[in-house]
Structure 1
Amino acid sequence: MALGVQDPRVKHSLSGSVFFDQGSLEEPPPPLRSYLCLTILTCFCPAYPVNIVALVCSIMSRNSYYQGDYDGSRRLGRNARLVAVASIIIGLLVIAISCIVHFTTGDF
């Protein structure tokens, strides 16, 4: 190393001692994408078994992230998003079919 060039991983304390910073070598974790808010909102759609599966996938995604399994967290988050979107679509279909059946049959 040339004189005057300092390694950014070397830290100096206030007392003048030098130590090597191990924490700067690690990459920061990727951002968390568990879609928990989306899955909680889908719990208001009338497709209850599908809603629960989306919520469980989202919670498992958060647990995997906090345990350090980032690939598993990403996979479970993607599954939670897909199941939540499917739940919204199923819920809207159930609402539409029930409205059609209610307003086309019987007396008003």
Structure 2
Amino acid sequence: MITIRQTVALLGILGVIASATSSAFAADTTWQKNHPRREQVNTRLARQDARIKDEVKEGDMSKAKAAHLHQQDRQVRQEERDMASQNGGHITRQEQKTLNQQENAISKKIHG
């Protein structure tokens, strides 16, 4: 028997696959083409935001924990903007790596 949680997980996976497939065929905006590292970081932040919201909706995370994780994501987003403002609107590979490491730590807290 498939549980609701398994069904939601499957739908989430299918959504990611569909999104990746459709975005592969969609033309990137000029900004996305000119700022691929920032685009990757910001896309990840958006997906993580959606994951947090889903966890709350499913009752697997308290609103307080979600608020704390959203605050941490906002701090990463602000750090990304600050880094870009110091480098003509771009972030370096090392800055992208640093931001992704911070997102990894937050991501582990979503299901942890």
Same fold (TM over 0.5): no
Greater RCO structure (CA 8 Å; 6+ sep): 2
Larger Rg: 1
Q: Taking structure 1 as the reference length, what is the TM-score of the superposition?
A: 0.40
* Higher percent of residues as strand: 1
* Higher percent of residues as helix: 2
